[in-house]
Chain A
Amino acid sequence: MAPTAGLTRATFAKLSPHPYLLANLEPSSDDVPPARSNGRAPNEVRPPTVNSSSLSHAHGSAVVRMGDTTVICGVRGETILTSNIPSFRASNNETELREYDLLVPNIELATGCAPQFLPGGPPTTLAQTLSTRIYSLLHSSKVINPDNLRIWHTGAEGMTANEDRMEDDAPDAIEGEKVVAAYWVLYIDIFFISFDGNPFDAAWAATMAALRDTKLPRAWYDADREMVISSRKESIPITITNIPIACTAVVFTGKETDRPSVDGKFWMLVDPDRLEESLCDESVTIVVDCKDGDTRILSISKHGGTVLTPTLLTSKQFLSWAGKRWEEFNLAIVQP
């Protein structure tokens, strides 16, 4: 561009990121394809790599890498007795997960994964938002079958039932009947090792990969000791049949916020990095599940800006990007 000035591409990108990205997306000559500052085409994503079962103390774990974004997720099960759940109702077998709060996802960004995230303070707004989004998506997508988290207990047959009924808090009152004595609570901790944009997609994929890897020990209720005992040898994997995947894109309008618009032109940049996220106000995240061929949309969330129209959000092109992303991630998660 300007070799005499002695400035490298990286310096230009840093000094004036906005015009630099615009110049790359709108090249002056026709034989140069439009690209982003990082060299990717607007709808080109960073290929994900997934590595599961790398932690020994967690019941399930996964490391997900997308370019320079690295996330590690560990799932750990702990048990809670139904007598310790204040709102417990034995008849409830629909909304147990949400009502008893059995899934506990937390995102930690304060590992120095990027210069703006240093430890020492409370979790940042971004970390809180991401945790809440993962939390609500885990519940609304119903990827976890509540039956995997129930710990059953059959009332002892030989015991005299009368004595047992005296203690009203014992969950095993009726002889021979199967009751839920306790639940597994899944603590899902998501650590960012390296942060380079698009945290939600990476964190969600890591969560799904770690859950798919999770094997809880076989557990039973010991009525005499009034606690749950686990087996060291046997473990039961959690059944995850569907793996929904998130796909995020940001909208670049080619102008800084205080400048007038450039004839309404805009670019959608899929899988943004840190620089692109800082230049764009508007972002859209779609969560899809394409199992068995048909695309099912689990959630669409769009923030900031008014450029994206409803037609565009339901367009074939946009959905095909998400579908491709789903395939890519599912291949990476299921394969190893």
Chain B
Amino acid sequence: MADRRRVNGPGGITVPPIYEAEDLPLPDRSRQPNGIRAQYLKTGVTPSASGSAYLEIEPQNGSVSKGMKLTCTVHGPRSLPRSAPFSPHMVLSTHVKFAPFATRQRRGYLRDSSERDLSTHLETALRGALIADRWPKSGVDVIVTIIEGDQARQVAVEQGIEEWDMMNVLGGCITVAAAALADAGIDCVDTVSGGVAALVPGKDGEEPVMVLDPVPSEHEEILAACCVAYLPSRDEITNLWLKGSLSSDANLQRMLIARAVHASKGSSQAVAASLTEAALAG
């Protein structure tokens, strides 16, 4: 059943352009294993919201990665509707949405399961940082819109790596939402920031190596990846998402988490810099 509240287009099937075969640029990572991509963060992009932020992760020159662009708005704290049951602390609701033009394949307007999944992860990440008891009986909405996603590869290949890509998107969502929460003046114990690390096979059959801020299309294969939401000044993790095939060696998992924390320290600097700049500007 077509959604009659939107313009739906022709009744027949439309297909995204199918390109003639072409040599794809070989996956290659030009950054150091411990280097993250440059981030640009700006707060106050939506003046009518309580708080807002815009995050841009720079595209890589000569690489298949096209960078990422996200905006986040925060509305509240405001009183809950009368029908809502009593809540002794703030009710946080998060919403993550890809714009239809954000990915290689056009996305619909209805939220799909991966977007709901991201919302849930984001909610856990932020809940650990908020001091929710200060606002009883109130609610706050955090809305993240992904204007441009990272996926930039052939559709067939993309299907396999999409799940890895979600981690990068989540890392960006956490960072941008933390900046927007700070811009809204909602008390947090610390600004939370997201970071991603991955275990990839080494070159020429060498030992697997750990890289920070992995771009899935820059690697042939990703063995395991980890995304953390980290509070730098308290040294705490509020959300941890690790998947992939790791050997039972607990040390390896600990290492991967440590690398992800290291990556999140990099984005936390971007948050701090942009918030200081906003505070200085008035």
| A associates with B | yes
- B11: Cβ under 8 A from any A Cβ: yes
By the criterion of a CB under 8 Å from any partner CB, how many residues of chain B are at the interface? 49
User: Are the CB atoms of A100 and B10 closer together than 8 Å?
Assistant: yes
Instruction: From A57, A81, A187, give the contact of B149 (CB < 8 A).
Output: A57
Instruction: From B47, B145, B148, give the contact of A56 (CB < 8 A).
Output: B148
- B160: Cβ under 8 A from any A Cβ: no
Please judge, given known A-B contacts A191-B145, A274-B48, whether A135 and B19 are in contact too, CB under 8 Å. no
Q: Which of B99-107, B187-195, B214-222, B261-269 contacts A (4 or more CB under 8 A)?
A: B99-107
User: Are the CB atoms of A115 and B49 closer together than 8 Å?
Assistant: yes
Please judge, given known A-B contacts A58-B101, A102-B10, whether A111 and B71 are in contact too, CB under 8 Å. yes
- A37: Cβ under 8 A from any B Cβ: no
Please judge, given known A-B contacts A185-B9, A227-B15, whether A72 and B20 are in contact too, CB under 8 Å. no
**Chain B residues within an 8 Å CB radius of A58:** 101
Q: Bound state CA distance, A102 and B99, in angstroms?
A: 20
Q: Which of A120-128, A156-164, A244-252 contacts B (4 or more CB under 8 A)?
A: A120-128
- B141: Cβ under 8 A from any A Cβ: yes
User: Are the CB atoms of A189 and B20 closer together than 8 Å?
Assistant: no
Shortest CB-to-CB span from A166 to chain B, Å, is: 23
**Chain A residues within an 8 Å CB radius of B99:** 72, 74, 108, 189, 191
Shortest CB-to-CB span from B65 to chain A, Å, is: 10
User: Are the CB atoms of A185 and B10 closer together than 8 Å?
Assistant: yes
Q: Bound state CA distance, A195 and B17, in angstroms?
A: 33
Shortest CB-to-CB span from A234 to chain B, Å, is: 11
- Nearest neighbor of B20 in chain A, beta-carbon distance: A229
User: Are the CB atoms of A104 and B9 closer together than 8 Å?
Assistant: yes
Q: Bound state CA distance, A119 and B97, in angstroms?
A: 9
- B235: Cβ under 8 A from any A Cβ: no
Give a binary string over A46-80; 1 marks a CB under 8 Å from any B CB, 0 the rest.
00000000011110010000001010101111111
Q: Bound state CA distance, A191 and B148, in angstroms?
A: 12
B interface: dominant SS? loop
- A118: Cβ under 8 A from any B Cβ: yes
User: Are the CB atoms of B46 and A194 closer together than 8 Å?
Assistant: yes
Instruction: From B11, B14, B71, B104, give the contact of A57 (CB < 8 A).
Output: B104
Give a binary string over A142-182; 1 marks a CB under 8 Å from any B CB, 0 the rest.
00000000000000000000000000000000000000000
Please judge, given known A-B contacts A229-B18, A229-B20, whether A115 and B48 are in contact too, CB under 8 Å. yes
Give a binary string over A242-265; 1 marks a CB under 8 Å from any B CB, 0 the rest.
000000000000000000000000
User: Are the CB atoms of A189 and B47 closer together than 8 Å?
Assistant: no
User: Are the CB atoms of B73 and A113 closer together than 8 Å?
Assistant: yes
Q: Bound state CA distance, A8 and B59, in angstroms?
A: 44
User: Are the CB atoms of A111 and B11 closer together than 8 Å?
Assistant: no
Please judge, given known A-B contacts A84-B12, A104-B7, A118-B141, whether A194 and B18 are in contact too, CB under 8 Å. no
- Nearest neighbor of A210 in chain B, beta-carbon distance: B101
Q: Bound state CA distance, A195 and B52, in angstroms?
A: 13
User: Are the CB atoms of B10 and A232 closer together than 8 Å?
Assistant: no
Give a binary string over A75-107; 1 marks a CB under 8 Å from any B CB, 0 the rest.
111111100111000000000000011101110
**Chain B residues within an 8 Å CB radius of A119:** 95, 97, 143
User: Are the CB atoms of A189 and B101 closer together than 8 Å?
Assistant: yes
- B137: Cβ under 8 A from any A Cβ: no
User: Are the CB atoms of A123 and B10 closer together than 8 Å?
Assistant: no
Shortest CB-to-CB span from B192 to chain A, Å, is: 19
Q: Bound state CA distance, A122 and B4, in angstroms?
A: 10
> Which of A111, A115, A230 lies at the interface centre, i.e. has the most chain B CB atoms within 10 A of its CB?
A111
Shortest CB-to-CB span from A236 to chain B, Å, is: 12
Q: Bound state CA distance, A132 and B10, in angstroms?
A: 15
Please judge, given known A-B contacts A112-B75, A131-B6, A191-B145, whether A57 and B15 are in contact too, CB under 8 Å. no
User: Are the CB atoms of B47 and A123 closer together than 8 Å?
Assistant: no
What are 23 contact pairs spanning A and B, CB under 8 A?
A: A56-B148, A57-B152, A68-B47, A72-B99, A76-B106, A77-B17, A79-B14, A100-B10, A101-B10, A102-B9, A104-B7, A112-B75, A114-B49, A115-B75, A123-B5, A128-B5, A131-B7, A189-B100, A189-B101, A191-B145, A194-B46, A194-B48, A227-B15
| Interface residues of B, Cβ cutoff 8 Å to A | 5-20, 22, 45-49, 52, 59, 66-67, 69, 71, 73-75, 95, 97, 99-104, 106, 109, 141, 143, 145, 147-149, 151-152
Q: A74-B101, A105-B7, A189-B100 are in contact. List 8 more A-B contacts (CB 8 A).
A: A55-B148, A57-B103, A61-B101, A76-B16, A85-B10, A106-B109, A115-B48, A128-B6
